Amino acid sequence: MKSYSLHLLVLTFCSIAVSAADNTALLSNEKQTILQKQQEIYDSEHEKLRTNWIAPINLNATYEYDKSALGNTQSDMKRASASVSQDVFRSGGITYQIDYADAKMQTNSITLQMQIASLNEQLFTALLNVQKSLLQRDQSQLRLDNQEIAIFIKRHLYEAGKADITELNNELMLKSSELKIYASAKYTIAQQRFEVTKISDIDPEKFPIPRFELIQKEDFLENQFDMRYARSQSDTLRKLYDVTRSSYLPSLAVNGNIGYQSYDPKEFSGSYQGNTYSAGLSLTLPLVYNASSTIQEAKASYLQEVATSADKRRELESTYRQTIEKIESYREYITITTNNLALYNDLIQATQAGVNAGTKTGYDLQILKNSKKVEELEIKINEINIQIELAKLHFSLKPSKELL
């Protein structure tokens, strides 16, 4: 089972490395560089944690000169050596350390995917909002066109004495309000373009945005990034608990030393030049006063994260339901607006007949046509609202969106 898990982990890392370019393809070069360096940091940390149980080889060189004040004797000694004290048994601690390093790398990989997904969500949300704001600007322009017609009619009625100044003034005030809405829509378009340029170099009005589909509930609950992170963090803390626990158990180390020594007593015999060797074993049993509390602290952290995972699932269920209800409300708006379009079609048909018969004016017909276009754009706006919500679901469990 452990071998299978390690194989799966390696495949995951390879998959992340291969897909990283696709996941960040739409991001700016600066953003891609930041994410690449973050991956390099995680890789280095993983290698360090995986191998920090391997003891260093200590190289040592000394030269000693001694002159005795009593007998006026002299001697010198030269020594060079390499030594190591390597643990070969830590009551499972070596295996636990490697497992902990792999688990932490998996958690870090999820963290990096979350960062990429967050940036891509910001990008696609901004792109969708640009399209939405363009439609809202077109809606406002159509309402302004209708307002111009209404003001024209009211002015002629006022000049003919068939309307008072209050009615004309009301139409002028409505136009003023709509002009502010139009100006606000233009600013929103510019603002959303700026949001795109913070993240990417693509043209928001030319880029073909792919369509997002609904993520199924079980898929969302199992693979949502926060849920995956909580599970991975729980596994990481469990491995860290194993490492902590084993550090207070017996360990066995192999000690070795190899070197060269030259000793010259000058006035006396007994000089030596040659290799030196030593080898041995050391058994250690640490007796630490707060060992129990330290182990208990590590265990409590692990169990707390397990509880957090369960709590996170409840929270995600609520988030999913809320999103679905929001999407359903937009769909209801679309249904209502679609029914209104049927009414506008009947009114336009009747008004066209009146225009042909001379009982209605072309202004009435134009107002109805513009109003119908406003409603048609309202459907498109709500479809974009749905796409924004679906994008949030998508990027909460996937780092990128395949280009269609």
pLDDT class for 72, splitting at 50, 70, 90? low
For the domain that residue 178 is a member of, what is the CATH number? 1.20.1600.10
298-340: pLDDT as tens digits: 888 888 888 888 888 888 999 999 999 999 999 999 999 999 9
Instruction: Judge whether 157 lies within some domain.
Output: yes
Between β-strands 272-284 and 251-264, what pairing exists: parallel, antiparallel or unpaired? antiparallel
Q: Which residues touch 217 (CB under 8 Å, ≥6 apart)?
A: 317, 320
Instruction: Judge whether 297 lies within some domain.
Output: yes
Q: Averaged over 190-198, what is the pLDDT?
A: 92
| Residues of the domain holding 26 | 2-53+90-250+285-395
pLDDT value of residue 326: 95
Instruction: Judge whether 372 lies within some domain.
Output: yes
pLDDT value of residue 207: 87
What pTM was computed for the model?
0.79
pLDDT value of residue 129: 94
Instruction: Judge whether 259 lies within some domain.
Output: no
pLDDT value of residue 204: 86
pLDDT class for 98, splitting at 50, 70, 90? confident
Q: Which residue has the higher pLDDT, 359 or 339?
A: 339
- Give the strand order in the sheet containing 74-89: 58-67, 74-89, 251-264, 272-284
Low-confidence winner among 25-39, 66-80, 230-244 (lowest mean pLDDT): 66-80
pLDDT class for 68, splitting at 50, 70, 90? low
Instruction: Judge whether 256 lies within some domain.
Output: no
Position 183, amino acid: A
128-187: pLDDT as tens digits: 999 999 999 999 999 999 999 999 988 888 888 888 888 889 889 999 999 999 999 999
Q: Averaged over 46-72, what is the pLDDT?
A: 73
Instruction: Judge whether 62 lies within some domain.
Output: no
**What is the count of structural domains for the chain?**
1
Q: Averaged over 191-207, what is the pLDDT?
A: 89
Whose CA is closest to 124, among 378, 397, 384, 329? 384
pLDDT class for 269, splitting at 50, 70, 90? low
Instruction: Judge whether 402 lies within some domain.
Output: no
- DSSP annotation string for 224-277: -HHHHHHHHHHHHHHHHHHHHHHTTS-EEEEEEEEEEEEEE-TTSS--EEEEEE
Instruction: Judge whether 261 lies within some domain.
Output: no
**Is residue 248 over pLDDT 90?**
no
